[in-house]
Amino acid sequence: LNTEKFFSNIIKSIFKVIFIDTKETLADCQCFTERIRVIPYLRYIIANGIDIIYPKTSLKYLTRPDKVEYIIRFKESNNYIYQCLVKINNIKVITIGGYLTKEEAIIRIADSIVKLISRTKSQATTSS
């Protein structure tokens, strides 16, 4: 279940241990990234300006200091459907549903709002 997340958490934990054990030096972390052959992917991400920030974190950054609230609803069926509602400063912004996990619903809704805010900001900039 959620194999990608499981392995991601393991790798993240290993990085934390290496960083702490080496008294916060990056050299050993770099050696680890080379050893697990992730450097080419990191270079690709940097070279192409790919946004890899977690959508929930991006939304929190874009809406600060406003309060963002995620309300999860579960509708039991054959597919175990999750629905998510987001409120910003107690104002309903959007509701989406049809996801198999609570985490996926949160990530998808946060990503949708971040894209909407980004589009709105870029349109406001170009029309000024």
| Mean model confidence pLDDT for the chain | 88
Domain boundaries, the chain: 3-47, 55-127
Do the strands 81-88 and 68-75 form a parallel or antiparallel pair, or are they unpaired?
A: antiparallel
Question: Right CATH number for 55-127 from 2.60.40, 3.30.300, 3.30.160, 1.10.357?
Answer: 3.30.160
- Confidence class of residue 128 from pLDDT cuts 50, 70 and 90? low
Kind plus residue range of the DSSP H or E element containing 78: none
Predicted confidence (pLDDT) per residue in 14-73, tens digit: 999 999 999 988 999 999 989 999 888 989 999 999 988 999 999 999 999 999 999 999
3-state secondary structure 17-54: HHHHHCCCCCHHHHHHHHHCCCHHHHHHHHHCCCCCCC
Amino acid type, 26: L
What pLDDT is recorded for position 47?
96
- 110 exposure class (CB count in 10 Å sphere: 0-12, 13-18, 19+): buried
Res 1 pLDDT > 70: no
Do residues 53 and 59 touch, judged by C-beta distance below 8 A? Answer: no
Give strand ranges (E) for 39-105.
68-75, 81-88, 91-99
- Confidence class of residue 85 from pLDDT cuts 50, 70 and 90? very high
